[in-house]
Each structure stands twice: as structure tokens, then as C-alpha cells.
């Protein structure tokens, strides 16, 4: 069936909650995707960092097939033979003592919120139902009603109230504002080390170090959301590693399964994780053997193929070339590793559509920012291929 018919079918029977580019992908491998007409495109979005390892990585496919043929789900009513290894390997890789696996990124954020609040009551001694969590402006932590309630994007909240109380918003990158917002009822500060949906916003140098110091001084949990920025995307295993800090809690997802299965997790040490008792929190699919097996291999692929190092090297090269493009429409190029935003003085959607016509897929964010975030397996040759098309589009559109 042709793209036009498939798009009409999707729009007729599906909810109108996305505005995708009008191509229909049928096949994907590595950095390349193919539509139903057989056209080939270079994927420069990587499913919002979910396929850092590339589409349909052969090692992940092999593990997925092998585990799917043996056991896919036990629920947490019973134990399985993959979760113990997942837990052990995740804690060894991150340095945290405990892990709580979930499925989507939003679920992992909700888990962190629950952990922080309960820690606030049981450990810090905050009075019942008075706990507060501080977040940042322009944050994107997910789509649940609790999470959108503390978003500063009006559209994310419109029509979905009333919202969960207990959240304060401070400007991103402003340590003094955070200090002023902390009080005796503050249990946690949750922040993205690099804000992805906001347009690849990078905080001032030393910001996370100041945050770490403030949180320790005030007995507040410092929790980082690395769902998009983690697992090699910024040229470090986790974006907070750039600032040499150790948060009290770590939220991961997306690339944790390389695009094969929704897998996420919240990691922390005993003092935080011990607040959970059987029945306090859970998920039927969280920690399932199929997801655990795939996640174990997904992390190992990142390590074995040195994707973190490649991200840093290729990201520096790509940003240097982007900054050399002579176009008045480009206000700024910012990023870390292969997590890059090109800020325009006009809407970015026409540029994304023009790039699609040239065989390069990317997506606008916050209206005037083009996000470039290819799978980390991309090569310098591939980047040069993309740069030629990017320069062509900017020459055409201004």
C-alpha cells in the first residue's frame, strides 16, 4: 500500500496527537530507514535517542529472538533468570547500589517522584503530605498528568487539570534560584543535565556542581533525568559525567533497549531505595525477562562499540561544520556529543521538510530549533553526506 493511503488510514482511525513528517517507514537498519515506496533516508533523530545503537542492531535482534522463544513475561509475582543479571550489571555500570526497572521513561520519572517523596517523609522527616519537589522551566519529563502538571509548556497542560500539587519551578541553569526555592519541605530537585525537548539547552559551566553542593547542604535529593541525554548521547555515558557529579538518583530509558522494547529504570543507593516495601510500587511488565535480556545487550553494545567515544568525536566535528555554514537564519548551534540543536530566527518545520526531500530525517522542537541526533553508529562519511544536504537546504531557504 502506498504512503498516501496509509497516512489517510492512520489519520482516520488514530487520535490527532502527533504531527509527524509525511513519510511511512517500512524498514530500518543502522542509520538508514526506507519508506514503503523504497526511498532511503538517513535518520538524524534516532527515535529521540532510543536507537543510539542504530536500528535493528544485529546483536540485539539475536538476543531478542533467543529470549522471545524462551520466556517473555513472568510478571513480578514470580522471579526470572534475566532480571538478576540486569540489576547487577546496571548497578556496576552506574555505580548505584540498587535499581528499580520500569517500562517507559515517564514511568521511571514517576518512580523517582514516589521514591523522593517517601524518602522525604521517612528519612528527612517532612510532615505528612507537605513534601515538595523542585523542577526546571522548559523541562520535559514525560506525559502523565502529574508530570505535565509541572511543565512550563502550556499546550502540555491545556485541558488536563487539576494537577498534582507539591512542585516548584525554577529557571534552568540558575543555581541561585534553586537555592532560594529550597525550604524545609523540599525533598528533591529533578533536572535534565541537557534539556532535549527544549531545544538542546545546556546549562552554564559548573551549574550541576553547584546543584550537587546545594542539595547536599540542604539534605535534598539530587535526581537527574537521563532518559534522552544518557547512554552515550552527549559524548559521555551520562550527560552529568561532564560535570563530574554524582546525583542521588538516576533515571534512564530509551536507548536502554536499543529500540526493541520499552525498558526504563530508576537507580539510587540503599537510603533512597529502601523506602519501598512489597506492594508500594510496581509494574506487570517492569523487569520482564525479554526486556532485561535486551537491555543487558543494549548497554554492552554501547561499551563494546565505543559509541560514547564516537559520539564525542563525531559531535565535535559535526558542530564545527554546522557553525561554518553561512546562513543568516542560523542564530546558534549548541550541543554536546551527537545531541545538537540548530537555533533559527524562524520556524524550523520548513527546513525539516526540505531536508526530508533531500533524504535526511530530523525534527523541529520548540518551533524554531532543528534537532540533530543521529544513531551513535554514524560515521564521518555519513556526517559529510548529511552536511552537503544541510548546506543545500540552507542555501535554498536562507
Q: What is the pLDDT of residues 134-177, one digit of tens each?
A: 999 999 999 999 999 999 999 999 999 999 999 999 999 999 99
* Catalytic positions, written as ranges: 140, 225, 254
Segment 334-353 mean pLDDT:
98
**CA–CA distance, 348 with 329 (Å, rounded to integer):** 10
Contact 232, 252 (CB under 8 A): no
**DSSP H helical segments within 169-284, as ranges?**
175-181, 207-217, 270-273
Cell digits of residue 326:
553561512
| Mean pLDDT of the region 1-10 | 95
Segments making up each domain of the chain, as ranges: 59-304
Place of cell 487539576: 162
Q: What stretch of H or E contains 201? A: none
CATH number for the domain running over 59-304: 3.40.640.10
Are the beta carbons of 339 and 233 closer than 8 angstroms? yes
31 neighbors 21 (Cβ within 8 angstroms):
no
pLDDT of 387 over the 90 cut: yes
Secondary structure of residue 335 in the 3-state scheme: strand
- State pLDDT tens for residues 52-70: 999 999 999 999 999 999 9
Q: Is the pLDDT of residue 78 over 90?
A: yes
Instruction: Using the predicted structure, report yes or no on whether residue 398 has a pLDDT greater than 90.
Output: no
Residues 6+ apart with CB under 8 A from 61: 260
* pLDDT bracket for residue 326 (50, 70, 90): very high
Rg (CA), the chain: 21
pLDDT score, position 2: 95
At residue 75, the pLDDT reads 96
CA atoms within 13 A on the CB side of 202: 17
Assess contact for 375 and 44: CB atoms under 8 A. no
Distance CA 224, CA 17 (A): 28
pLDDT digits (tens, 9 = 90+) for 204-249: 999 999 999 999 999 999 999 999 999 999 999 999 999 999 999 9
Amino acid at each position: 500500500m502506498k504512503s498516501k493511503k496509509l497516512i489517510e488510514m492512520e489519520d482516520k482511525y488514530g487520535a490527532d496527537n502527533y504531527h509527524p513528517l509525511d513519510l511511512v517507514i517500512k524498514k530500518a537498519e543502522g542509520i538508514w530507514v526506507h519508506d514503503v515506496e523504497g526511498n532511503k533516508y538517513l535518520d538524524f533523530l534516532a527515535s529521540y535517542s532510543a536507537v543510539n545503537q542504530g536500528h535493528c542492531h544485529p546483536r540485539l535482534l539475536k538476543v531478542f529472538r533467543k529470549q522471545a522463544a524462551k520466556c517473555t513475561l513472568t510478571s513480578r509475582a514470580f522471579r526470572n533468570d534475566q532480571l538478576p543479571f540486569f540489576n547487577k550489571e546496571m548497578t556496576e555500570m552506574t555505580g548505584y547500589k540498587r535499581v528499580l526497572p520500569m517500562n517507559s521513561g515517564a514511568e521511571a520519572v514517576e518512580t523517582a517522584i514516589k521514591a523522593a517523596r517517601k524518602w522525604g517523609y521517612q528519612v528527612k522527616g517532612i510532615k505528612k503530605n507537605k513534601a515538595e519537589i523542585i523542577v526546571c522551566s522548559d523541562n520535559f519529563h514525560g506525559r502523565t498528568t502529574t508530570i505535565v502538571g509541572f511543565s512550563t509548556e502550556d499546550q502540555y497542560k491545556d485541558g488536563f487539570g487539576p494537577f498534582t500539587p507539591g512542585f516548584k519551578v525554577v529557571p534552568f541553569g540558575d543555581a541561585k534560584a534553586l537555592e532560594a526555592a529550597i525550604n524545609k519541605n523540599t525533598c528533591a530537585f529533578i533536572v535534565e543535565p541537557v534539556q532535549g525537548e527544549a531545544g538542546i539547552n545546556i546549562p552554564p559551566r559548573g551549574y550541576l556542581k553547584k546543584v550537587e553542593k546545594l542539595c547536599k547542604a540542604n539534605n535534598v535529593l539530587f535526581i537527574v533525568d537521563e532518559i534522552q541525554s544518557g547512554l552515550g548521547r552527549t559524548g559521555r555515558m551520562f550527560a552529568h559525567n561532564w560535570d563530574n557529579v554524582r546525583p542521588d538518583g538516576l533515571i534512564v530509558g530509551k536507548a536502554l533497549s536499543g529500540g526493541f522494547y520499552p525498558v526504563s529504570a530508576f537507580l539510587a543507593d540503599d537510603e533512597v531505595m529502601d523506602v519501598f516495601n512489597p506492594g508500594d510500587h510496581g509494574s506487570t511488565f517492569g523487569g520482564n525477562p525479554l526486556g532485561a535480556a535486551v537491555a543487558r545487550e543494549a548497554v554492552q553494545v554501547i561499551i563494546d562499540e565505543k559509541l560514547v567515544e564516537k559520539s564525542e568525536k563525531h559531535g565535535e566535528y559535526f558542530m564545527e561544520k554546522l557553525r561554518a555554514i553561512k546562513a543568516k537564519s542560523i542564530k546558534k548551534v549548541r550541543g554536546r556529543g551527537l545531541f545538537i540543536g540548530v537555533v533559527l530566527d524562524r520556524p524550523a518545520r520548513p527546513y525539516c521538510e526540505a531536508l526530508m526531500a533531500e533524504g535526511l530525517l530530523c525534527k523541529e522542537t520548540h518551533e524554531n530549533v532543528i534537532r540533530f541526533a543521529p544513531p551513535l553508529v554514524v560515521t564521518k562519511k555519513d556526517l559529510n553526506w548529511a552536511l552537503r544536504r544541510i548546506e543545500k537546504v540552507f542555501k535554498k531557504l536562507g
